Structure 1
């Protein structure tokens, strides 16, 4: 590639079977994204951060079938070795899980070469129209978000589960443009109410009606933000990317949305949803333990602080975020 790519797509994982079928989900994601970028002639790079790989499993190069890079679409694999992972855990005193997702994403973000960076997850599928929509005319003063439809395969057919919108999850039996319009209007009204209850809290308290003090996720599109967050490279790096040394990797993607919004960028929600291949999860939103509740309270507290002070926060206020001073192994496919 002679010129810098227009978009860098960054995601992370490793050669294991996280969620029961990670290998297949990763293969679907990589194959589809690569073919779409080639088909629509988009100058891009796909960066997979191979985080803390399992030595007993096939190397990531053999774990899935990687497409061969073209002049216009480059595939890069950057490896964070187990020794790097262990040192990071020890130095930061964080929970030791196999993949520190936001450190992995930061590694790719820090080393990306694109004008815009899309941080995503390795089981996301984009509709063709979505890829065409982001293929040009992106604005530097915006951060781009997307709604997400969860689905699973049932006897080879896609079975829709739910759609994640700003502040809400709505169960699905089918999906259409008309349904999407109705949900957008419906939850737009609900969000407006939840943001503004605090303005009439005295009245609502007298009527024993709930007041939503923790309302930031109804103000900004924080839902499922780890699956698609895109903006100009300059702002990823000015804000300092994701908070990588949080005790557990929960709500860090949501916090970054608020960081982006409070840095002065405008939120733009694309009108075509992305699709997520459903799987078993480490954390369940409907069954939170105290550790997870603590992470949610941190997200709300820090977000409200940024709203009050009307400025963004940089949680990686050091030169080494994204393991910047470490020479990590990298291969091109």
Structure 2
């Protein structure tokens, strides 16, 4: 037998050194800043581009790359601008399902500029409040953000805010691009269509119940308890009195309004909404803050066909309640106990009179007396009449948190 003169100790040392180098190499390629887990779910568009070229292409801002799987988490949120899902994946992201897959969908419309008067800190509070709602109630909830007409010189929602990971909360961002915004009528010249955006959220919502709200709000203990108690019913529209937020306290306590009998929340009986000023059921009283909280079963929302889109950017929430209560005779429950608290800010919308368009001459008495109706045409609301795939509607679904 040939002897090489190498001891067993030397061989073992060499093996150990080799193993260390192998582990270091694997660690490097898994943590390389130029490496992105998203590249593993990207397929080149009908070419044989290598993964290395694809990474460099992403970094250089090359053409859109097609993905065929939604990421569970995001390592680099900025890459979303360079990714395009397959049509099948896009349809899956938008699909509401024949049956609800969540108990609640929270719908909000926003864009990343100063359209609402320095809203960024309020929006982060709103997102965190949705996280706390899901964690406390242990109910399946989705936060559905409709990002409307995002400014080209601003970062996108997903790349601006913190989305905390939860086993109970899912995030979906549906982006309505400038091509669709420019295609739609825009008599007031507004950069954002709040109620058309909320209709988009209603159309695609996966929750059994859908609440349309704004980024100025955080959820109260009353709402936590009502969700935990599953107190809401189908074929009813829910409104609330809105309490101001309690500042200088932790977010979870900022809308803790009263002691709760947890799991046994009781809602008031429906009211008879009317146009008589002296009554507690006066429409402008009970629907005054409907833009910040209107909630119904997802099927109930579709009976009046959402908010009327031929109207304007202001008062459409009140007109919706008029139409639902009087034209379609849907019961309205008004809670004097707040479901959400409002973060104070200057009322920018009220000052933009040029954008208060077609609905300014609506006579609520005529709706109440059933002399006139104001309803969207069937299949012509919530972008149903638009080729949203070819016009660039985007959808991203994720569970929060970042990949590390």
Structure 1 match to 2:287? 222
* Separation of aligned partners in 2, 1:137 and 1:151: 24
> What is the TM-score of this pair, normalised by structure 2?
0.61
* Separation of aligned partners in 2, 1:304 and 1:27: 40
Query: 1:14/1:291 Cα in 2 relative to 1: closer, same or farther (>3 Å)?
Result: closer
Structure 1 match to 2:366? 305
**How far 1:131 moved relative to its partner?**
2.0
Structure 2 match to 1:76? 172
Does the aligned pair in 2 maintain the 1:239–1:314 contact within 8 Å?
Answer: no
* Separation of aligned partners in 2, 1:306 and 1:295: 13
* Separation of aligned partners in 2, 1:330 and 1:145: 29
Q: Please say if 1:138 is aligned against 2:232.
A: yes
* Separation of aligned partners in 1, 2:204 and 2:290: 21
* Separation of aligned partners in 2, 1:151 and 1:4: 31
Aligned length, in residue pairs: 273
Structure 2 match to 1:253? 317
Q: For residues 264-322 of structure 1, give each alpha carbon's deviation from its aligned partner in whole angstroms, at most 9, with x where no partner exists.
A: 222112242121112222333xx795875974432xx1x222211288x4521131311
Does the aligned pair in 2 maintain the 1:9–1:47 contact within 8 Å?
Answer: yes
Q: For residues 81-115 of structure 1, give each alpha carbon's deviation from its aligned partner in whole angstroms, at most 9, with x where no partner exists.
A: 01111111xxx252111111001111111111111
* Separation of aligned partners in 2, 1:110 and 1:294: 24
* Separation of aligned partners in 2, 1:77 and 1:138: 26
Q: 1:95 aligns with which of 185, 188, 207?
A: 188
Q: Please say if 1:279 is aligned against 2:375.
A: no
Name the structure with the higher strand share: 1
Q: 1:5 aligns with which of 99, 102, 127?
A: 102
Query: 1:294/1:56 Cα in 2 relative to 1: closer, same or farther (>3 Å)?
Result: closer
Q: For residues 198-251 of structure 1, give each alpha carbon's deviation from its aligned partner in whole angstroms, at most 9, with x where no partner exists.
A: xxxxxxxxxxxxxxxxx9525x721111100001111211211001231x3111
Does the aligned pair in 1 maintain the 2:122–2:215 contact within 8 Å?
Answer: yes
Structure 2 match to 1:207? none
Structure 2 match to 1:212? none
| Cα RMSD after superposing both structures | 3.1
Structure 1 match to 2:3? none
Q: Secondary structure at the match of 1:53?
A: coil
Looking at both structures, which has the greater relative contact order when contacts are Cα pairs under 8 Å and sequence separation is at least 6?
A: 1
Query: 1:3/1:20 Cα in 2 relative to 1: closer, same or farther (>3 Å)?
Result: closer
Structure 1 match to 2:159? 62
**How far 1:60 moved relative to its partner?**
1.3
Does the aligned pair in 1 maintain the 2:276–2:282 contact within 8 Å?
Answer: no
Gaps of 5+ in 1: 159-174, 178-187, 197-214
Query: 1:234/1:21 Cα in 2 relative to 1: closer, same or farther (>3 Å)?
Result: same
